[in-house]
Amino acid sequence: MTNESQSRNDDAIPARPLATRTAVILGVVIAACFLDVVDFSVVQVALPTIQRDFLVSFASAQWVIGVYGLTMAGFLMVSGRAGDVYGQKRVFVLGIVGFAASSLTAGFAPSLIFLIASRAIQGIAAAMTTATALAILAATYPEGPKRNKAFGALVAVLSAGFAAGSLVGGVLTEAFGWRSVMFVNVPIGAVAALLAYRHIAASPGRAAETRLDVPGAVTITAGLILLVYAFTNAANEGFFTLATALPLGLSAAVQTGFLAIERRSASPLMPLSFVRRRTVLEANVLSVLMTASAGGFLLLTFFLQGSLRYSALETGLAFLPPAAVFFFVGGWGASRLVNRVGMKKTLMIAAGLITLGSALLVPISVEAGYLSILPGSVVWALGASIGFPALAIAGLAGTQPGEEGLASGLIQTSQRLGFPLGLAVLLSVATAFDPGLGVAGFRYAFLGATALGTVGFALAVLLGRTSAPRDAEVGAPTATEPVMED
């Protein structure tokens, strides 16, 4: 942190050793992000039960997950920039409280429409916490090994949260019903909000000299929501339908308007010069491609429960091996790999493993059962556990004070767009060859995932590579651009 920001922190909270303070901040950030990860995994496992309870179609039940991703993706950019302008702590704590409250209303939902509305609010609140959480870490740790290590610890615990969420979601759904998986967020949120309020320093926004670009915020949020909505419709009905084409066209028009607003704005929400930075553009494009392949994991849930007749608990247990890979490799290995071999080689390794894992899932079959998905899911998780934290590091590399929220919101928006895009593409491929979405459909879907991974690997090979500074110390100056390797 800079001397000015350190002085503000010292005035805002009682003095304590710097190492202790940063460790507490890391713990609070992890607790808040834990909410989003646990929520995704528990609801994913509980979704078939929700579908049966409300007696609705799969397409309707999917909105329980889809609307959450829609609003979260739409509000990440504006939440990150709002933290830069108004203060990260203020937006962060408000997001945690909103998430816990909407989880409570979701648990008491009397109808699917009410549940979907609560999930939409959850998505907005999750965008506020996750965008500012990474920005808080970026402002707390200097760029280089220390920041990479903090990101690794975050990924490790969140991976454990994914595993715990899958298991707890299965246990709670089996024992108490799907409503209990919503209530689990409430105590976690209460503790995280209390810790954040007590231990994160209240300070003005690091970009407080600017104002929030309201026209830009409205247009980019509307454009992203329309885009994710189009992708969600494409997953349900296909790309070549009015329900997909209309919001896709509207999204393009609105985002064109956003670019026009940004060119004229004195305080743009997303300065176009920032996006044109080579490392920023590379990290975000590759992030979309890598996360697109993750759409196959939602398909695995329905393969396990639909084709193999697994219970919610058995499905949760089935995801434990890849979750363990995320914990041990992503948490403790990804940052070390970035520091040792550089960003480009790390991303090449990650993209290659993601492609191989998807290819290993192509021969999926009912006869082979769980063994037909275990090798592929573990190899895919190995690549993703390395690639996702590396992309987060790359997306925040080279940021200046006041840009942390912008960079965090942008890289996470790319990831959130990649998942529904990948799911829409994979489902479209599957149903084109197998309208009933049987085993043959799953095989074609994973062929599509392999193709997406191949494109990502090719891009990682062709693009310039970045390397995080290896010997950065606290107080060392941060370059506008990361070191570019030949």
pLDDT in tens, 146-169: 777 777 777 767 766 666 666 777
The secondary structure of 402-466 as a DSSP string is T-HHHHHHHHHHHHHHHHHHHHHHHHHHHHHH-TT--HHHHHHHHHHHHHHHHHHHHHHHHS-EE
Q: How many CB atoms lie within 10 A of CB 241?
A: 12
pTM greater than 0.75 = no
Structural domain for 257, as ranges: 213-268
Phi, psi of 380 (to 5 degrees): -60, -45
Is position 64 within any domain?
yes
Give the pLDDT confidence of 130-147 residue by residue, as tens digits: 888 877 887 777 777 777
Is position 429 within any domain?
yes
Residues 156 and 291 in one domain: yes
First to last CA, the chain: 30
Last residue of a domain, one of 268, 283, 302: 268
Could you say which residues of the chain have pLDDT below 50?
1-16, 465-486
Residues 231 and 288 in one domain: no
- Report how far residue 205's alpha carbon sits from residue 280's, in angstroms, rounded to the nearest whole number: 22
Is position 60 within any domain?
yes
Last residue of a domain, one of 268, 290, 307: 268
Residues 157 and 260 in one domain: no
Residue 124: the pLDDT is: 93
Last residue of a domain, one of 235, 251, 268: 268
Residues 397 and 258 in one domain: no
Beta bridge partners of 483: 467
- Report how far residue 128's alpha carbon sits from residue 95's, in angstroms, rounded to the nearest whole number: 5
Is position 392 within any domain?
yes
Count of structural domains, the chain: 2
Q: What is the CATH number of the domain that holds 95?
A: 1.20.1250.20
Residues 83 and 204 in one domain: yes
Buried b or exposed e, range 166-181, using 16+ CB within 10 angstroms: bbbbbbbbbeeebbbb
Is position 4 within any domain?
no
